[in-house]
């Protein structure tokens, strides 16, 4: 009986088809992986967090080098070819893939909390020159800032503040 010798390799995929290639490879019994991260994107004038592939067009695959058919893997839908150094397929250290997977799992567990600010609700400024001052949320000011109504020296003023510097005040 032959022992299995699994190694990680890097595949180059067609544009935005990493997911398709991963699915097709897993149907063939080949373990595959591509790391992603949450990224803030503007979709139809709204700010959303989307999963984005860290290494676009690349896919890590674990292959049993003694039993696998490299041609069938290379011919999988979504895959262009193995990444090569000369005529040899490039091997990826297993500890690197394990580290990427561990970081991916940590990121998945700590999903980004999207804070929604509601017009007319009280917020508190957490950073900057106005730290600790309460204000009333007015509206968005672009993707990363908000307009606030702030009361300074008995005068109400409108100011623009970064979203990272404000926090909702919980209702009592």
Q: Tens of pLDDT along 6-64?
A: 999 999 999 999 999 999 999 999 999 999 987 777 777 676 778 889 999 999 999 99
Q: Are 100 and 146 in contact (CB under 8 A)?
A: no
Q: Extract the tokens encoding 94.
A: 């297993």
Confirm whether 62 is domain-assigned.
yes
Query: What mean pLDDT is predicted for residues 108-120?
Result: 64
Q: What is the pLDDT of residue 108?
A: 62
Confirm whether 52 is domain-assigned.
yes
Q: How many domains does one find in the chain?
A: 1
Confirm whether 1 is domain-assigned.
no
Q: How long, in residues, is the chain?
A: 172
Q: What is the pLDDT of residue 16?
A: 92
What does 50-74 look like in DSSP terms, one character per residue?
Answer: EEEESSTTEEEEEEETTT--HHHHH
Residue where the block lists tokens 């007319």? 120
Q: What is the pLDDT of residue 165?
A: 86
Percent of the chain residues topping a pLDDT of 70:
91
Residue where the block lists tokens 């900057």? 128
Helix (H) and strand (E) counts in the chain: 3, 14
Distance between CA 160 and CA 155 in Å, rounded?
Answer: 16
The whole-model pTM stands at: 0.62
Residue-range definition of the domain harbouring residue 18: 6-165
Confirm whether 172 is domain-assigned.
no
CATH assignment of the domain containing 47: 3.30.70.940
Confirm whether 17 is domain-assigned.
yes
Distance between CA 83 and CA 89 in Å, rounded?
Answer: 6
Half-sphere exposure (CA, 13 Å, Cβ side) for 34? 23
* Residues contacting 22, CB < 8 A, separation 6+: 32, 33, 34, 59, 78
Confirm whether 170 is domain-assigned.
no
Confirm whether 37 is domain-assigned.
yes
């Amino acid at each position: 009986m032959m022992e299995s010798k699994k190694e990680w390799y890097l595949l180059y995929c067609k544009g935005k088809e990493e997911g398709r290639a991963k699915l097709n490879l897993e149907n063939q019994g080949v373990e595959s992986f591509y790391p992603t991260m949450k990224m803030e994107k503007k979709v139809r004038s709204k700010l959303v967090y989307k999963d984005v592939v860290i290494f676009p067009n690349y896919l890590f695959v674990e292959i049993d080098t003694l039993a696998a058919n490299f041609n069938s893997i290379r011919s999988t839908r979504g895959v262009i070819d193995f990444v090569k150094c000369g005529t040899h397929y490039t091997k990826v250290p297993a500890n690197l893939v394990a580290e990427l997977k561990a970081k991916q799992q940590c990121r998945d567990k700590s999903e980004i909390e999207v804070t929604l600010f509601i017009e007319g609700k009280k917020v508190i400024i957490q950073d900057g020159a106005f730290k600790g001052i309460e204000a009333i949320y007015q509206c968005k000011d672009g993707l990363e800032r908000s307009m606030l109504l702030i009361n300074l020296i008995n005068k109400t003023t409108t100011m623009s503040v970064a979203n990272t510097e404000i926090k909702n005040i919980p209702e009592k």
